[in-house]
Structure 1
Amino acid sequence: MNTYTNRLFKTKLVAVLTVVLGLSSCTGDFLDRPPEDSYNVDEFYQTTEQVNAATNALYTRPWYNFVTNVSWCIGEISSGNGRTWDPRNGDFMNFAITGEHGTLTQAWESLYAVVAQSNAVINTLPEKVAADVPVDVVNNALGEARVIRAAAYFYLVRIFGSIPIIADNNEYVLEPVVPRNPESDVYEFIKRDLEFAIDNCYEKVRGSNYDANAKVSSGSAKALLAKVYLYEQNYTMAYQLASEVINSGEFKLYGGDAEDGDPAGSYYDLFLTANDNNPESIIALQWTNTGVWAEGNGLQSLFAPAGVTGFSDGWSAVGPSIDLQQAYEDTELDERYYATIMAPGAYYPDLNDGYTVSENISHQGTNAGVKKYVVGNAATNGGGAAQSYPNNTYILRYGELLLIHAEAALSGGGSTADGIASFNKVRRRAGLADKPNPTLDDVFNERRIELAYESEFWYDVVRRGPNFALNFLSNTERGTYNNDTDPPSVWSETYTATMDDLLFPYPNNEIENNPALLEPPVPYDFE
């Protein structure tokens, strides 16, 4: 691990944020054109360093509202992994979200801001770059922007379904009514972006210089494309691409005993700020330690107990549901439990130089708290401030890729033996015994535990189909513990989901601005 170089990268990232955000900024409206009065684009893309810096902001600020305020509400609360008494976030728990919900609006605005900033790089760089900047430098930057744009669209299509595909915001400034496009076209657009990135981004090997691992690579694009094919149920392509990434040796499982593992790490170590951009990281958002709002990661503010952060935040806005806690196979053996959930009396030696969880911890009535992405105060965490912390958040990591490989294989896409081997690498890293004949249900449950509080579970539930999803969501325990009994009993709480709940509604203000959202989807023109 190289903590110094990792922090140096974040410092350099801050140095260019002002320039790049001026070049590719976006306000609330997803059709806003990047302003042209805050920079001289003809003078910006003149050196290799400037071109490399052009993509830095794509990993940070435009993602802030989605990651901090929305991703976990959808991924954890709606899915049944989390619960809350907060009436605003509780709407995600009881399927009461409407187009007027402000938190949902932040998902749309934030993700389309990512698209807009990516578009600014993709459409401006080829026209304005100096002739002496090497072509491979230009194409790598374009590939990076396409990976980030693909990631944003992948969230958008899974949350809202049919959506407008915007490839160049400037085309719609004078005509802001934009039709929505079919989900199949959105997936095709995503795949084309990732195929470009596979061909044009640099190939890398993730090593001990974590600074060099920060940005996406050709392998990152291929791994995300494998996941996209999994969602399309093209298991052959998902298996093939996942196999290619595994066999490339670019990424490693952080910890465990597998031949493609890094014994220096562990599952717990994945979520320490000092280990940002470790060899398991495939795509991660690169938050800074400046403490400036939206330049850092705000998840700790929502997840942490009061007093942990060193600031006035630490709001315990979500608790790990009883259902999630009971889904662990063995809370003593499975190292992921300790890394994800704060149990009463648990001790974390790295957190604020030593932190013991209260015996009375009960975030949102769950008799436990959330540990994942809770990293402590600025003095022990490399900097930051309230609602702005420097620890990365993952979009995709190697542990998930192994489970993609396993699921694709067990679904008929490739060698079952190789898929089972990938599945058991993840289990052994967690401290559990191999399963010789895992089923697709086993993979689903393993993904739930492996990725808990990485805001992924909702999408896993929904993609298994409406019959499964409606049954699972309607029968997931979302209640609280009654501590007046010994042992504590459960005040049960369940909510019935309907077909309409499997996609989220478009924000009302977006419909007002763009009435075409209510019209039938229109095929996208790929020419």
Structure 2
Amino acid sequence: MNKILSIGAVVVLLLFNACEKELNQVPFSQATTETFYAIPNDFIQGTNAIYSNLRTYPDRLLNLSETRSDNLYAISDGGVRDWEGINDFYKNLSTNPYIEEAWATNYNGIYKANVLLGQIEKNGSIITDEVLKKRLEAEAKFLRAFFYFDLVRIFGKVPIIDKVVTANEALAIPRSAVADVYKLIESDLQFAVDNLPPVYTIAADRGRATSYAARGILALVYMTKSGPTYDIEGPGLASNEWGKAYTLLNKIVVDNKYAFVSNYADIFSYSNENNPEVIFDVQYNTGSNPVTGATFPWLLAPDNWFTSLGKPVQGGLTIRPISNSLLSAYPANDTRKAFSIQNGYTGTGGVVETRSFFKKYIDLTKVPSSRVDWPINYIVLRYTDVLMLRAECVLNGGGGDVATEVIAPINQIRARAGLTVPLVTLTIPQLMEQRRLEFAGEGLRWHDLVRSGLVTTVIPAWDAADDIENKMEPFTKDFVIYPIPYNQINLKKDLYTQNKGYN
């Protein structure tokens, strides 16, 4: 994929992909947008620029979903860290850099999508290949929807900006109702479903969104909408669209373009990227200048562990410990636990660390010299997720068969993890626990709890059992979403009202 770095007034397009799979790269100035789109390839480069805003998406999931959930007890032992307020449900999070990043990066991506879409409308006749033109429009709409969906899950109501506007015009755009934001998301994703190719035959195009990726994300949108409202203006609208989601997910399964990888570790192997599980991922190009590799692998691991092994300092600083709740949830012989979790270590100077942390994405033979240049992709949507999301739709009355589309695939997933005793029944809470074990460390847990309605019972129970240092604030339903960043609230008086429950 790609990343944009601002250097003064120049925006550099870093079109990055994984390892040797590079889309392209070209610099351009924002001031020359009108003249940039002169040949068909310029529109491809403009589309690639939108993908660049996915670079930090994995980090955001780990900071705002994994850390917020009951999977981590992220209490720092080395000074106040930005993740602590996320973990502890602080009310004064409006200046938290993780939250500011979520707003800024998503809207930057939306801006780039709007630029591309505006140029296709204005100058699209330059692209004589109508199939390519539709594909580029569909890619831009897929990504715009992706960014808006991320915003809705994090902030609830957000401003709808579906065309390029000036700074002054933006100051007159209020936050829109969540239902209205979803209308844009669904429209964009449906266009992507209808106009994106099912596969790309050129290796350099790996990492671009496909029609199957659009189906999967649209299904998750319907499922998220179908979640409870919690009496707040958050992502759940209790819309009961499980049937729509089921149809989309079932299409992915029955078309047989993806497959269940038999060995869990192989899904995340550095030498097995683009494996049959991968439906959509964020891809990185390493060894480039400027650097465009990944940063998420080390995010939850402490620096002292790396240095104790003779590896370069990464940036994880102190440990973000895994919660006792998650550690005790794994059955005996579950191979996912050993693969995903480091159970302590002996650090520099012989200091013994007994707490556990995630190592899921770390291959110690692949540690780069630069901590921002890890050579591993982040899987946004994988086939196992589709199977489990479809099972969730079935259990919520969206159609399908419990025996073949819930029990059978869940037992297949468990068998891959070394759990030989099959389940014979499954409830929504039990399914969410199976998802927890499968996707631990992948940043999905918080959104799963919110969508399923379990967050208001699971989090308080976890707090009571695991908060041994008494650091966490009492959970309220207002904390299903995050506060609007203060730097946005402060742009114009009364333009935005802060989300309830936050300072």
Q: TM-score, normalised by structure 2?
A: 0.82
The one-letter code matched in structure 1 to 2:489 is: I
Following superposition, the deviation at residue 161 of structure 1 comes to: 0.6
The residue type equivalent to 2:75 in the other structure is T
1:243 to 2:228 alignment: no
Equivalent position amino acid for 2:399 in 1: G
- List gaps (5 residues or longer) in structure 1: 24-34, 257-265, 347-355, 482-489, 521-527
Structure 1 contact 286–392 (Cα < 8 Å) conserved? yes
CA–CA distance in structure 2, aligned partners of residues 151 and 398 of structure 1:
19
Please state how far the C-alpha of 1:314 moved relative to its aligned partner.
4.8
Aligned-residue sequence identity (percent) comes to 24
For 2:348 and 2:337, locate their aligned partners in 1 and report how far apart those are by CA, in whole Å. Answer: 14
In the other structure, the counterpart of 2:443 is 455
Preserved CA contact (<8 Å) 2:21 2:206? no
Match of 2:109 among 109, 114, 119: 114
Shift in Å at residue 338 of structure 1? 2.3
Partner residue in 2 for 1:77: 67
* 8 Å Cα contact 1:225-1:238 kept in structure 2: yes
Q: What is the match of residue 311 of structure 1? A: 312
8 Å CA contact 1:288–1:384 kept in 2: the answer is: no
Structure 1: 4+ residue segments shifted above 6 A = 356-361, 478-481, 490-493
1:437 aligned to 2:428?
Answer: no
Matched, 1:63 2:64: no
Q: Structure 1 338/51 Cα, relative in aligned 2: closer, same or farther at 3 Å?
A: farther
**Which of 255, 269, 285 is the equivalent residue of 2:282?**
285
Paired with 1:236 and 1:110, the residues of 2 have a C-alpha distance of 32
Question: What displacement does 1:403 show?
Answer: 0.6
Correspondence 1:516 to 2:495: yes
Instruction: Give the letter for the 2:248 counterpart.
Output: L
Whole-angstrom CA distance in 1 between matches of 2:350 and 2:181: 48
Question: By how many angstroms is 1:63 displaced?
Answer: 3.3
Any conservation in 1 of the 2:335–2:417 contact (CA below 8 Å)? yes
Q: Secondary structure at the match of 1:225?
A: helix
Change in 2 beyond 3 A, CA 1:175/1:464: closer
Indicate whether 1:214 and 2:214 are aligned: no
Deviation at 1:499, TM superposition (A): 2.2
Corresponding residue of 1:28: none
1:417 aligns with 2:403: yes
Counterparts of 2:18 and 2:337 in 1: how far apart (Å)? 27
Q: C-alpha distance in 2, partners of 1:495/1:475?
A: 13
CA shift for structure 1 position 245: 0.9
Q: Deviations over 1:388-432 (max 9, x none)?
A: 323111222111111110000111111222322333332233232
Query: Cα deviations across residues 266-310 of structure 1 (Å, max 9, x unaligned)?
Result: 221222333222221122111220365672211134233323694
Q: What CA distance in whole angstroms lies between the structure 1 residues aligned with 2:274 and 2:67?
A: 27
Q: Secondary structure at the match of 2:336?
A: helix
Per-residue deviation at 1:90?
Answer: 0.7
CA 1:50–1:280: 2 relative to 1, 3 Å: farther
Cα distance in 2 for residues equivalent to 1:294 and 1:107: 21
Q: Residues of 2 paired with 1:428 and 1:88: CA distance?
A: 38
Letter in 1 for 2:109: V
Structure 1: how far apart are the matches of 2:352 and 2:281? 30
Task: Show CA shifts across 1:37-96 (max 9, x none).
Answer: 3783232xx23x544443223333x2344543x321221121121123143211111101
Amino acid at match of 1:58: I
Q: In the alignment, what sits opposite 1:176? A: 171
Q: 1:9 to 1:93 in 2, by over 3 A?
A: same
- Could you list the runs of 5+ residues in structure 2 that have no partner in the other structure? 1-16, 227-240
Q: Give the secondary structure class of the aligned counterpart of 2:281.
A: strand
How far off is 1:444 after superposition? 0.5
Q: 1:269 to 1:8 in 2, by over 3 A?
A: same
TM-fit CA distance, 1:137: 0.8
Contact 1:306 1:314 in 2 (8 A): no
Out of 449, 455, 462, which is 1:476 matched to?
Answer: 462
Partner-residue secondary structure (3-state), 1:391: coil
Match of 1:327 among 311, 326, 329: 329
Alpha-carbon distance, 1:516 to partner: 1.8
Q: Which moved more, 1:415-424 or 1:209-218?
A: 209-218
Instruction: Say if 1:274 and 1:334 are closer, same or farther in 2 by CA, change over 3 A.
Output: same
Q: Distance in 2 between matches of 1:400 and 1:292?
A: 34
2:339 is aligned to 339
Distance 2:143 2:393 in 1: 24
1:20-419 equivalence runs, <5 A: 22=28, 35-37=30-32, 40-43=35-38, 46-47=39-40, 49-60=41-52, 62-68=53-59, 70-82=60-72, 83-85=74-76, 86-96=80-90, 97-131=92-126, 133-170=128-165, 173-204=168-199, 213-233=206-226, 234-253=241-260, 255-256=261-262, 266-290=263-287, 295-304=292-301, 305-307=305-307, 310-315=311-316, 316-330=318-332, 333-344=333-344, 362=353, 367-376=355-364, 380=366, 385-415=370-400, 416-419=402-405
The secondary structure found in structure 2 opposite 1:306 is: helix
TM-score relative to the length of structure 1: 0.78
Report what 2:4 is aligned to.
Answer: none
One-letter amino acid of the counterpart of residue 269, structure 1: D
- Backbone CA RMSD of aligned residues: 3.1
CA contact (8 A) 2:484 2:498 kept: no
